[in-house]
Amino acid sequence: MVRLTHNGLKIWYATPDAPAPDGTLEQRQGVSVTVGVRPANPSNAVSVRYRVDGQVGQSISALLVANDFQQQTQYFRATFPTFWSGDSVEYMPIVSCNGRRAPDPETASAFPTRFRLSQESAAVPASRPAERTAERRPEFAARLEHLAHVRVELAREPELFGETPAGFIINWPPVSGTVDGPALHASVVPGGVHQTAVRPDGIGILTVTVTIETHDRILIAEHASATVDFGEDWRSWLPVRKWRPTLPVRSAIRMVSSEPRYGWLNRLQCLGIGEARLYEYLYAYDLYAVH
């Protein structure tokens, strides 16, 4: 049972209402962590830092799975990727909300909770027979580093240009936003370009050019190209503004800065994995660096 408090935020896990592995023996796939957070807030974001056998730390994002409005409590759940190797996993959940974080920085940088991994190998998907797995290993393996969770507030009235030779055009500019995570703390500057051209099959090609301002007042230019899945039935609701609850968004992101302290951003290719929550006028995603 783990309970932590900092900056007015409370988190807990490995409890009856927030089950999580703690000193247990787990299978190599499908292991999840549920984290309770109080007080409830739409800006709450939870990630789980972890490392296998004491190696380099990684991070996964947790999804909101339940709201208890009477108790002002939210529950988030993160599922670890398949552990193809290793004997033990250490981890630490972290909640952030509008610049506040819990637990405290010293605890957040540690890995206080651990579990052991079964010696049985993870199941190989049926489409990849075990005897052929070695042949299909990638030549250039990739690693994702979680940089931040991003929440972009969108204008209440998007601009619908309608059908054009380039597709059905919708412009939905940002009015504010936050970038909060282990690598970046910044705010989204209103304005910029946030335009989508929807193809006949319902896939929207999103072009974004936006400025973010870090907590120490450094401007960073962000450029992104993304796909938004409006669904095959998009013509029945998009032109008449009958919004769908959520739309998956996947983006390729580059950032540039003239400030030497942020020069490391200029060298990164990043990915954004998230969704547009149209009823909330919100675009939320996790920002990853590809290594």
pLDDT at 291: 84
Q: Which domain holds residue 209?
A: 145-290
CA–CA gap between residue 11 and residue 36 (Å, rounded) = 5
**Judgement on whether residues 154 and 283 belong to the same structural domain of the protein:** yes
Please write the tens of the pLDDT for every residue from 147-180: 999 999 999 889 999 999 999 999 998 999 999 9
**Judgement on whether residues 6 and 107 belong to the same structural domain of the protein:** yes
**Judgement on whether residues 185 and 114 belong to the same structural domain of the protein:** no
Torsion angles phi and psi, residue 32, rounded to 5: -130, 160
- The reply to whether 40 falls in a domain is yes
pTM of the model: 0.56
Average pLDDT for consecutive 10-residue bins of the chain (291 residues)?
91 95 93 94 88 85 84 92 90 88 86 91 57 63 87 92 94 92 91 92 94 94 95 92 90 95 92 91 92 84
**Judgement on whether residues 97 and 163 belong to the same structural domain of the protein:** no
H/E run at residue 74 = strand 73-79
Residue 228 sits at the vertex; the CA angle it makes with 227 and 230, to the nearest 5 degrees, is 145
CA 145 centroid distance within chain: 11
What is the number of residues in the chain? 291
Query: Which of 99, 118, 137 lies at the terminal end of a domain, its last residue?
Result: 118
- The reply to whether 274 falls in a domain is yes
**Judgement on whether residues 150 and 286 belong to the same structural domain of the protein:** yes
- The reply to whether 110 falls in a domain is yes
CATH of residue 224: 2.40.160.20
